[in-house]
Copies of this chain bind each other. A is one copy, B any other.
Amino acid sequence: MKKSTLIGGLSLTALGIIAAASPALAQDATEAAAPEFAKAADTAYIFNTLLFLIGGFLVMWMAAGFAMLEAGLVRSKNVSMQCLKNIALYSIAGLMFWITGYNLMYTGVDGGFMGSFGPYSFDAVGGDSLDTGYSTASDWYFQMVFCATTASIVSGTLAERIKLWPFLIFTVVLTGFIYPITGSWEWGTGWLDVMGFSDFAGSTLVHSVGGWAALSGALILGARKGKYGPGGQVTPFPGSSMPLATLGTFILWLGWFGFNGASQLAMGTIGDVTDVSRIFANTNMAAAAGVVVAMILTQILYKKVDVTMALNGALAGLVSITAEPLAPSVLQAVIIGGVGGAIVVFAVPMLDKLKIDDVVGAIPVHLLAGIWGTFIVAWSNSDASYTVQLTGIVAIGAFTMIASGIVWFILKATIGIRVSEEEEALGLDKVEIGVEAYPEFGQGSQRV
């Protein structure tokens, strides 16, 4: 970080300016002018790369959002574990998306069902190839954080009863293989892309895949002890901290501007940056509508507003608009997001009726709103068709359910995936990691 580095980096340009300013050297207008002006391809390359970097760090930040959301929605005896799982899964996703994920998703798919195996390598230091139109490392970074998001979705649903290491092994498979394979079908220009399937930023490719993986895990793992009584009664297990859940939601909302906005993949032209702006605005409107609809519906249904529903309403609005944040008019974005909010309000009790125990509501938010958002693309985007959208939803759902199910079954049959009843009662923090979240108050200090 020496200052001399910078001066060095600018010297050629500076030289160019001096040369151009000297009349004696200005023999040929084109030649002399060349170093003075910014090359369009270079400028576009820098803008595109910058979009990936900014979008990437915003989506990386979503990992913290999931951590806080889940830490707030589980009981205090499982908060440390939830924090640990979230930082661990983000780390694993980063490693796996380098070792195998990126190439499996993006290299040589060519209309097919998956790419190639092997670790990814970046541009060399000072790389100056313009071929891709952006730095390969920035692209990798941006795609990697999407992969991590998928894994984050799973951890919330399965909280409070799944063992640490089996969960992490599942994360290895999900981020290294399952997500990249279905991702390759569309973003890797595989068979679904050829067919005309459309999923701009991942309502299906990221959110539903995470949701399907969570659902298969929830079915195999079973509900938390005491959640569903024999007579059909449902016992609420309130989350330990609403402000942390709120913080997590705000973090996710913020990160989503990168998630959807930078999925434009370019901002080197005024058309591209205008599209990124539309995406920002539409993304915000859908989330806002999700909140308002969830609030009004819970007020009508329950005579009180449920704050967790409002938070999940925001997230469902965001997931809903993710498949097509660019084409909708503002009013369409409001409707798409508002329906997402309604889905959450009706789906959460429905899952409880089915005795599917989803601790944080990730299945309504990510899977169901993801399906809705993907399906409704055809409303605003004339290039999409409802039939092809359904085809993609079903194909990716089926593959993810089956592949995830196989992994969960193998883990269950071998090392086991669920803690004992006694351990569940004590809380995973005490039993599995030995660090309580709030040792001086709460369950940590008062019970067991």
Question: Is A174 an interface residue, CB under 8 A from the partner?
Answer: no
Question: Is A233 an interface residue, CB under 8 A from the partner?
Answer: no
Q: How far apart sit A186 and B433, CA to CA, in the bound complex (Å)?
A: 42
Q: How far apart sit A88 and B288, CA to CA, in the bound complex (Å)?
A: 8
Given contacts A6-B133, A6-B265, A84-B307, 5 further A-B contacts (CB under 8 A): A3-B187, A9-B269, A128-B271, A135-B273, A307-B433
Question: Is A352 an interface residue, CB under 8 A from the partner?
Answer: no
Q: How far apart sit A270 and B361, CA to CA, in the bound complex (Å)?
A: 43
Is the contact region of chain A dominated by helix, strand, or loop, or is it mixed?
helix
In the complex, are the beta carbons of A270 and B128 less than 8 A apart? yes
- A137 cross-chain contacts in B, Cβ below 8 A: 274, 277-278, 280-281
- A275 cross-chain contacts in B, Cβ below 8 A: 125-127
By beta carbon, the residue of chain B nearest A94 is B288
Interface-forming stretch among A35-43, A224-232, A408-416?
A35-43
A88-117 to B contact mask, C-beta < 8 Å, 1/0: 101110110010000000100000000000
A304-329 to B contact mask, C-beta < 8 Å, 1/0: 11111011001000000000001101
Question: Is A436 an interface residue, CB under 8 A from the partner?
Answer: yes
Q: How far apart sit A310 and B75, CA to CA, in the bound complex (Å)?
A: 21
Interface-forming stretch among A44-52, A154-162, A215-223, A391-399?
A44-52
Q: How far apart sit A380 and B29, CA to CA, in the bound complex (Å)?
A: 43
Question: Is A86 an interface residue, CB under 8 A from the partner?
Answer: yes
In the complex, are the beta carbons of B87 and A189 less than 8 A apart? no
A19-59 to B contact mask, C-beta < 8 Å, 1/0: 00000001011101111111111111111111011101110
Question: Is A170 an interface residue, CB under 8 A from the partner?
Answer: no
Question: Is A214 an interface residue, CB under 8 A from the partner?
Answer: no
In the complex, are the beta carbons of A91 and B435 less than 8 A apart? no
- A437 cross-chain contacts in B, Cβ below 8 A: 241-243
Q: How far apart sit A185 and B135, CA to CA, in the bound complex (Å)?
A: 33
In the complex, are the beta carbons of B441 and A306 less than 8 A apart? no
Interface-forming stretch among A61-69, A367-375, A418-426?
A61-69
In the complex, are the beta carbons of A1 and B187 less than 8 A apart? yes
Question: Is A179 an interface residue, CB under 8 A from the partner?
Answer: no
Question: Is A284 an interface residue, CB under 8 A from the partner?
Answer: yes
In the complex, are the beta carbons of B126 and A274 less than 8 A apart? yes
User: How many whole Å from A215's CB to the nearest CB in chain B?
Assistant: 24
In the complex, are the beta carbons of B3 and A16 less than 8 A apart? no
Question: Is A138 an interface residue, CB under 8 A from the partner?
Answer: yes
